[in-house]
Amino acid sequence: MSQTVTVTVDGEEITTEAGRTVAAALMLAAQRPAWRRTRFDHDRRGLFCGIGVCFDCLVTVNGEPALRACLIPAEEGMVIETSERGARGE
């Protein structure tokens, strides 16, 4: 079984350990503490409740919007889009 998983985050390829959630992949492999911007204040948000109740961590996965990154297992080839494109390294 493969020990790593490669996904695309906002067009960029990221390799993460197998068994990560999408949220953990964003934080640990893509080094992004936040990946969503709020509607009104354009505030940065990432993981908060960690268990699927707060909806702060929403991402688009394989074209499907508004999914909770804390609940999705990262899978090979997944295309992840965030509302904070290009914010890496800030």
Partner 1 sequence: MSERRCDVVVVGAGPAGLAAAVQASRAGAQVLLIDQSIRPGGQFWRHAAEEHDADPGRWHHGWSTYTALASELQAAVDAGDVEYLCGHHVVTAQQISPAQQIGSAQLQLTIQPVPELAAGARGLMTVRAPAVVLCPGAYDRQLPVPGWTLPGVMAAGGIQAFIKTQGVAPGRRAVLAGTGPFLLSAAASVLQAGGEVAAVCEAANLTGWVPRGAAAALVPSKGAEGAEYIRLLAKHRVPYLRRTAVTAIHGEHRAEAVTLSRLDSNGAVIEGKQRYLDDVDLVGLGWGFVPQSELVVQCGARTRVDVDGSLIGVVDVHQRSSVEGLYLAGEITGVAGATAAVVEGRIAGRAAAREAGYTTGGARQLAAAQRDKVLRVNHRAFAQAMHRAHPLPEGWESWMQQDTVVCRCEEVPYQRLKEAAQTLSAQEPRGLKGTTRTGMGWCQGRMCGTAASCVARRSGAEGAEESAVAVAKRPLAAPVRLADLAERDPSA
Rounded distance between C-alpha atoms, residue 57 and residue 42, angstroms? 14
Among ligand FES, partner 1, none, the one that 11 touches (CB under a kind-dependent 5 to 8 A) is: none
Q: How far is the CB of 3 from partner 1 (least distance, A)?
A: 9
Among ligand FES, partner 1, none, the one that 65 touches (CB under a kind-dependent 5 to 8 A) is: none
Exposed/middle/buried for 31, CB within 10 Å: 0-12, 13-18, 19+?
Answer: exposed
Cβ contact 37:44 at 8 Å: yes
Three-state DSSP class for 29? helix
Nearer to ligand FES, 3 or 65 (CB): 65
Residues that bind partner 1 (CB under 8 A): 1, 17-21, 24, 27-28, 33-34, 38-41, 43-56, 58, 62, 64, 67-68, 70-73, 90
